[in-house]
């Protein structure tokens, strides 16, 4: 339903990709690791290789967790906006089909947080 308003009501979306100086916003959260209260967001260059995303911004955000060093990325199960997703680590963000404001989640089989308690 459109907004009820006293005048024309037509404004552009505030978070269009063009407002991010060439980057696109990507979110990622680590399932079963609730030490991290929410997924995080990053402005990523579309030509950033996915492996560099994992080794850089993602590791910086999640690396403090003792499970992080044990992750076997070939076993990780990813979803994108709730649907199955298989990233090619050697390809870039754009080549992996990731678009602005995609939300990734990953699960790491065998790693269920500290004491297996999803922490």
Partner 1 sequence: MDMPAKPKKKLGLKERYAVMTRGLGWEPSYQDIDDIFSMDSFEGIKIHDWDAWEDPFRLTMDSYWKYQAEKERKLYAIIDAFAQSNGHLTVSDPRYINTVKMFVNGFAPLEYMSHRGFAHIGRQFRGVGPRVACMMQSLDEMRHAQTQVHAISNYNKYYSGMENFRHHHDYLPYLQVPKSFFEDAATGGPFEFITAIGFSFEYVLTNLVFVPFISGAAYNGDMGAMTFGFSAQSDEARHMTLGLEVIKFMLEQDPDNVPIVQKWLNKWTWRGVRVLTLVAMMQDYMLPKRVMSWAEAWEIYFEENCGALFRDLERYGIVMPPCVEQVRKERDHLSHMAWCQFYQARGTSNFHVWLPSEEDMDWLSQKYPDTFDQYYRPRFEEWRRMEEAGTPFETTGINMQCQVCQIPMFFTEPGDPTRLAQHHCHHEGEQYHFCSQWCQEIFEDEPEKYIQSAIAGHDVFKGKAIRPEADPTAEDFNPAAEALAFWKLENGRDNGLHYGSQDERNFSMWRGLASSNS
Check residue 41 for interaction with partner 1 (CB under 8 A): yes
Report the first-to-last Cα separation within the chain, whole angstroms: 41
With respect to partner 1, which residue has the nearer C-beta, 40 or 73? 40
At which residue do the structure tokens 């906006």 appear?
81
How far apart CA 87 and CA 70 sit, in angstroms, is 19
Q: Among 37, 33, 41, which residue's Cα sits nearest to residue 65?
A: 33
CB 44 within 8 A of CB 85: no
Check residue 40 for interaction with partner 1 (CB under 8 A): yes
With respect to partner 1, which residue has the nearer C-beta, 90 or 110? 110
Binding string, 8-37, against partner 1, x = CB under 8 A?
-xxxxxxxx--xxx-x-x-x-x-xx-xxxx
Binding site for partner 1 (CB under 8 A): 1-6, 9-16, 19-21, 23, 25, 27, 29, 31-32, 34-43, 60-61, 64, 81-82, 99-103, 105, 114-115, 117-119
């Amino acid at each position: 339903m459109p907004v009820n308003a006293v005048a024309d009501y037509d404004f552009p979306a505030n978070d269009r990709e063009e407002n991010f100086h060439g980057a696109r916003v990507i979110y990622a959260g680590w399932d079963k690791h609730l030490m991290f209260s929410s997924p995080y967001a990053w402005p990523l260059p579309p030509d950033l290789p996915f492996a560099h995303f994992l080794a850089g911004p993602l590791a910086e955000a999640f690396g403090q967790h003792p499970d992080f060093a044990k992750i076997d990325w070939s076993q990780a199960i990813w979803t994108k906006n709730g649907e199955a997703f298989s990233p090619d680590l050697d390809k870039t963000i754009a080549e992996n089909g990731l678009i602005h404001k995609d939300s990734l989640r990953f699960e790491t089989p065998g790693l269920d947080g500290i004491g297996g308690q999803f922490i």
